[in-house]
């Protein structure tokens, strides 16, 4: 029977170069050939003279990590990463350098492991040992950080476990005290992690070593009790082992029976949990039976129960109902002829391998170039990875306190992507929340979701550990129903903000397009199409042209402001000149009744160019500074604005009979039409037939539409209205109006 090691560090692999380790990796995948030797040679010059925080030489620590990984079935790639992790800190561009030398997968693995080490180091330094004592909140928070790291590459968990186990071994072998927070983290986070993944070989040793540093007196007391009468107990157990193996073989069961090593921490937990004395702990004397098949397990159990007296309440069938981490075995406690209890475990060789190494027994990673993680080779890579991640999620849930995830972190859940990456979401999150957390575009285009393979409504609350696959359109946007709180499509504030931003951007685009069209039409009417839109916006106080277009499109900025900017400013006169002008108008140029008659009495009148009035248009006068009275059409927008600002400068005016017989007035005519060949000629012919002189033409064509401005001389604006009716009848003309 294998005895309990009072000092597990006594045989720890902490020595230097390991050529035998490198030679023992012939089972590695072809793509990984030589990776371990190359990684060690690459890292040795960088880390051979370096020391870790614990005081251990970095290269020796990496050697020991590789040996631990090999002992639990870790691939050569995983072992090689043990060296690359520590080389990262000595490289200027570690990811780039390692990717070039070893491939993207190695670089990603090394960087993720290094990142997690730094996070955990900072977390420990920020916490006092008093806080760390038994606070499950901090324990769970550490687990959450691990989950997010492991979701990117499952090999990270193996590297962290191997590194922590070696740190414990080093402190034990060197007889140096371990910082309490480090030992407590090992016992409360790392050992349960190994247990959840079924890596019992690491779990037991890590628990015993951590417990030894945390409670040295209790550890020594139990170790002493185990050592008392050890020789006598082992002699009886060896006799029982050999007899049981021979009798099972005689029954046709090819069984191998071996003693099971004792673990101090598990004994202490059992004593404390069940309030037992040391002599009452059943598994101090224990045997393990390894048989070829499941059928042989139950046949061996039947024979053991017939041979010894079973304690029925201590029987557990973990084959029919495996533990959450996949552990399978039959556990029974029987009494020998002397009435002393003996625990017997019965399992197949495959069950035993899994019990010792857990998921590590099935992990075989290979390089995948730029794609990084390539999955596991045994039992289907995707299914295996999903199974492991769900174990980690279940672990976090167990620490939280209840199966429903309520407790310390009831506000968070973890779900999986189809590629088995973990996504952290608020409690009650829906597939839409999930889609937006993965990528904003995926959220906008989301049209359905498969949860654990079944199509479910988008407002279905997700549960811990579920796998979510989004069905998305190639293009499109969100539905306004998603923002309705009563329909509960999203609970994440971030997801709702992203959907709301999409609609805001859509409205903004519509306003900008509407405003751009209005501004461009205004510039065409004013004959200012050469004006740069960005310059115009800057002159009006906007950072960009789109900013101007948006407020114009929302009717928050009047186009009259642009018209005013485009017109030249009126010259300013001193007050005395203004008064002189006003006096001359009142005394010399104004007939009885105070009405200024345009065309007869006044030498100080001018027709406004903005509206170009002509008889018999209703008109008004505005006293300018230095240019006499400006005559506007009564419906002119500029005239109305000036009158509103300076009512005292408005004067009543009327048309008078001209002294000369052929007085004409220039007016502007705006024509919009479908652009075609000969359009300008056809319109010009109409004015020619009506004997209206065209003194100016401006034309512009944009996307098949022609905008034309004709300046024609007329004696009577009433006749112009009839001419415009003829212009509108020309083919392709959409509108013809006086400006």
User: What CATH number corresponds to the domain at position 388?
Assistant: 3.10.20.30
Do both 604 and 698 map to the same domain? no
Q: Is the pLDDT of residue 215 over 80?
A: yes
| 122-126, 442-446, 612-616: segment of lowest average pLDDT | 122-126
Alpha helices in 93-250 (DSSP H): 94-102, 104-125, 129-132, 136-150, 155-174, 180-185, 191-196, 200-214, 216-227, 230-250
CA distance 209 to 59: 22
| Confidence band of 588 (pLDDT split at 50, 70, 90) | very low
pLDDT by residue (tens digit) across 511-521? 888 888 888 88
- 370 falls within a domain: no
Last residue of a domain, one of 471, 491, 511: 491
Residue 315 lies in a domain: no
Q: What is the pLDDT of residues 319-366, one digit of tens each?
A: 999 887 678 899 998 887 777 788 899 999 888 877 776 655 444 333
Is 3 or 45 the better-scoring residue by pLDDT? Answer: 45
The CATH number of whichever domain residue 65 belongs to comes to 1.10.3210.10
pLDDT band at 171 (very low <50, low <70, confident <90, very high): very high
* 161 and 96 part of one domain: yes
Residue 434 lies in a domain: yes
pLDDT for 447: 92
Q: Is residue 246 a part of any domain in this protein?
A: no
pLDDT beyond 50 at 20: no
How large is the angle between the packed helices 136-150 and 155-174, nearest 10 degrees?
A: 130
**Whole-angstrom distance, CA of residue 617 vs CA of residue 573:** 30
Averaged pLDDT for residues 99-103 = 86
Span of 24-28, 279-283, 528-532, 641-645 with lowest mean pLDDT: 24-28
Q: What DSSP designation does 308 have?
A: S
721 inside domain: yes
Q: What domain count does the chain have?
A: 5
DSSP letter for 317, please.
Answer: E
Greater pLDDT, 388 or 614 = 614
Give CA–CA dist 437/431, Å, rounded.
10
Looking at the domain assignment, is residue 1 inside a domain? no
Burial class (CB in 10 A: 0-12, 13-18, 19+), 700: middle
Q: Give residue 579's pLDDT.
A: 45
**Coil/strand/helix, residue 70:** helix
Give 643-666 pLDDT, tens digit per residue: 888 888 888 888 776 555 567 788
Same domain, 14 and 138: yes
Q: Which pLDDT belongs to residue 388? A: 60
Per-residue DSSP letter, 461: P
Give residue 298's pLDDT. Answer: 93
pLDDT score for 345: 92
Q: What is the Cα–Cα distance from 159 to 161, expressed in whole angstroms?
A: 6
What pLDDT score was predicted for residue 88?
Answer: 87
Q: What pLDDT does 331 receive? A: 92
Q: Which residue among 604, 626, 655 closes a domain?
A: 655
DSSP three-state, residue 26: coil
Residue scoring higher pLDDT (177 or 3): 177
Regarding whether 701 and 601 lie in a shared domain, the answer is no
Higher pLDDT, 613 or 325: 613
The per-residue DSSP string of 635-672 comes to T-HHHHHHHHH-GGGEE-EEE---SSTT--EEEEEEEE
CB 638 within 8 A of CB 611: yes
Nearest-5° angle of CA 446, CA 451, CA 457? 55
| pLDDT > 70 in the chain, percent | 73
pLDDT given at position 430: 94
Do 135 and 21 fall within a single domain? yes
- How high is the pLDDT of residue 173? 92
* Spatial separation of the C-alpha atoms in residues 74 and 24, rounded to whole Å: 12
Residue 131 falls within a domain, yes or no?
Answer: yes
Residue 251 has pLDDT above 50, yes or no: yes
pLDDT, mean of residues 34-45? 89
Tell me the CATH number at 723.
3.30.70.260
* DSSP symbol at 462: P
> Is 416 in contact with 423 (CB distance < 8 Å)?
yes
User: What does the pLDDT look like over 486-519, one tens digit per residue?
Assistant: 888 999 888 999 988 888 888 888 888 888 888 8
* More confidently predicted of 508 and 301: 301
81 shares a domain with 198: yes
pLDDT-based confidence at 378, cuts 50/70/90? very low
Do residues 50 and 57 touch, judged by C-beta distance below 8 A? yes
CB atoms within 10 A of CB 527: 15
The range of the structural domain enclosing residue 711 comes to 665-738
Q: What is the pLDDT of residue 431?
A: 94
| Reported confidence tier of residue 153, pLDDT bands at 50, 70, 90 | low
pLDDT above 50 for 470: yes
Residue 717 shares a structural domain with residue 588: no
CA 420 – CA 401 distance, rounded (Å): 25
What are the beta bridge partners of residue 708?
671, 699
Clarify whether residues 465 and 517 are in a common domain.
no
pLDDT band, residue 446 (cuts 50/70/90): very high
- Could you say which of 537, 566, 595 is where a domain stops? 566
Residue 420 lies in a domain: yes
Burial class (CB in 10 A: 0-12, 13-18, 19+), 576: exposed
Q: What is the pTM of this model?
A: 0.49
Does residue 434 contact residue 415 with C-beta atoms inside 8 Å?
yes
- Give yes or no: residues 510 and 475 share one domain: no
| Dist CA 354 CA 384 (whole Å) | 13
Residues 200 and 95 in one domain: yes
Would you list the DSSP string of 559-609? HHHHHHHHSPPPPP--HHHHHHHHHHIIIII--TTS-EEETTT-SSEEE-T
Choice between 289 and 135, residue whose per-residue pLDDT is larger: 289
Q: Please answer whether residues 253 and 303 qualify as being in contact, where contact means their C-beta atoms are separated by less than 8 angstroms.
A: yes
Q: What span, in angstroms and rounded, lies between the C-alpha atoms of 283 and 508? A: 73
Mean pLDDT check: name the lowest of 19-33, 145-159, 176-190, 614-628. 19-33
Greater confidence, 520 or 33? 520
Work out the mean pLDDT of the chain and round it to a whole number. 75
Split at pLDDT 50, 70, 90, the class of 297 is: very high
Nearest CA-CA partner of 205 in 222, 187, 189, 217: 187
Question: 463 with 419, same domain?
Answer: yes
Q: What is the mean pLDDT of residues 214-218?
A: 88
pLDDT at 37 exceeding the cut of 80: yes
Judge if 18 and 135 occupy the same domain: yes
């Amino acid at each position: 029977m294998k005895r309990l090691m009072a000092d597990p560090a006594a045989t720890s692999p902490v020595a230097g170069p390991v050529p035998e380790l490198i030679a023992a990796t012939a089972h590695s995948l072809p793509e990984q050939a030589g990776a371990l030797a190359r990684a060690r040679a690459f890292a040795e010059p960088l880390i051979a003279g370096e020391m870790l925080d614990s005081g251990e030489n970095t290269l020796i620590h990496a050697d020991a990590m590789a040996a631990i990984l090999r002992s639990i079935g870790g691939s050569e790639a995983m072992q090689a990463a043990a060296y690359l992790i520590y080389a990262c800190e000595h490289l200027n561009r570690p990811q780039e350098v390692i990717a070039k030398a070893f491939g993207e997968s190695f670089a990603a693995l090394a960087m993720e492991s290094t990142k997690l080490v730094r996070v955990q180091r900072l977390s420990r330094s920020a916490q006092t040992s008093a806080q760390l004592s038994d606070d499950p909140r901090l324990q769970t928070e550490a687990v959450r950080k691990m989950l997010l790291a492991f979701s990117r590459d499952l090999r990270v968990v193996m590297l962290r476990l191997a590194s922590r186990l070696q740190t414990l071994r080093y402190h034990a072998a060197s007889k140096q005290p371990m910082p309490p927070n480090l030992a407590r983290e090992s016992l409360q986070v790392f050992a349960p992690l190994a247990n959840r993944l079924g890596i019992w070989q690491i779990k037991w040793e890590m628990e015993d070593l951590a417990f030894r540093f945390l409670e040295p007196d209790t550890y020594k007391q139990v170790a002493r009790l185990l050592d008392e009468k050890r020789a006598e107990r082992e002699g009886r157990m060896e006799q029982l082992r050999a007899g049981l193996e021979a009798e099972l073989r005689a029954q046709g069961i090819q069984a191998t029976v071996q003693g099971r090593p004792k673990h101090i921490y598990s004994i202490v937990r059992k004593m404390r949990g069940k309030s037992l004395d040391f002599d009452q702990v059943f598994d101090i004397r224990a045997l393990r039976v390894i048989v070829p098949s499941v059928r042989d397990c139950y046949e061996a159990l039947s024979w053991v129960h017939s041979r010894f007296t079973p304690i029925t309440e201590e029987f557990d069938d973990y084959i029919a109902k495996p533990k959450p981490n996949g552990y399978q075995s039959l556990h029974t406690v029987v009494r020998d002829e002397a009435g002393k209890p003996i625990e017997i475990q019965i399992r197949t060789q495959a069950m035993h391998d899994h019990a010792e190494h857990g998921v590590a027994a099935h992990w075989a990673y290979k390089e995948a170039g730029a794609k990084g993680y390539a999955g596991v080779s045994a039992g289907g890579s995707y299914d295996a990875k999903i199974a492991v991640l769900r174990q980690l999620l279940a672990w976090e849930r167990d620490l939280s306190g209840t199966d429903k995830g309520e407790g310390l972190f009831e506000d968070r859940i973890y779900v999986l992507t189809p590629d088995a990456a973990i996504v952290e979401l608020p409690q009650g999150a829906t597939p839409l929340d999930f889609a937006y957390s993965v990528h904003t575009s995926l959220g906008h285009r989301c049209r359905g979701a498969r949860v654990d393979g079944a199509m479910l409504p988008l407002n279905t609350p997700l549960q811990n550990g579920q796998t979510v696959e989004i069905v998305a359109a190639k293009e499109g946007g969100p539905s306004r129903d998603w923002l309705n709180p009563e329909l509960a499509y999203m609970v994440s504030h971030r997801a709702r903000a992203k959907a709301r931003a999409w609609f805001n951007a859509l409205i903004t685009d519509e306003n900008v397009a509407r405003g751009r069209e209005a501004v461009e039409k205004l510039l065409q009417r004013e004959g200012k199409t050469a004006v740069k839109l960005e310059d115009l916006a800057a002159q009006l106080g906007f950072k960009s042209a789109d900013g101007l277009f948006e407020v114009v499109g929302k009717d928050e900025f009047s186009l009259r402001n642009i018209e005013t900017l485009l017109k030249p400013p009126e010259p300013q006169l001193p007050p005395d000149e203004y008064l002189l002008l006003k006096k001359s108008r009142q005394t010399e140029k104004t007939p009885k009744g105070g009405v200024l008659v345009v065309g007869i009495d006044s030498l100080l009148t001018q027709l406004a160019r903005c509206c170009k009035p002509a008889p018999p248009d209703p008109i008004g006068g505005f006293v300018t500074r230095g240019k006499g009275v400006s005559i506007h059409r009564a419906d002119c927008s500029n005239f109305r604005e000036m009158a509103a600002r300076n009512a005292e400068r408005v004067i009543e005016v009327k048309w008078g009979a001209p002294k000369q017989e052929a007085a004409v007035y220039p007016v502007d005519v705006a024509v919009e039409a479908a652009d075609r060949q000969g359009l300008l000629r056809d319109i010009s012919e109409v004015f020619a037939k009506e004997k209206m002189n065209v003194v100016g033409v401006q034309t512009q064509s944009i996307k098949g539409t022609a905008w034309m401005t004709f300046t024609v001389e007329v004696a009577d604006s009433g006749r112009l209205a009839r001419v415009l009716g003829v212009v509108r009848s020309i083919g392709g003309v959409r509108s013809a109006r006086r400006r």
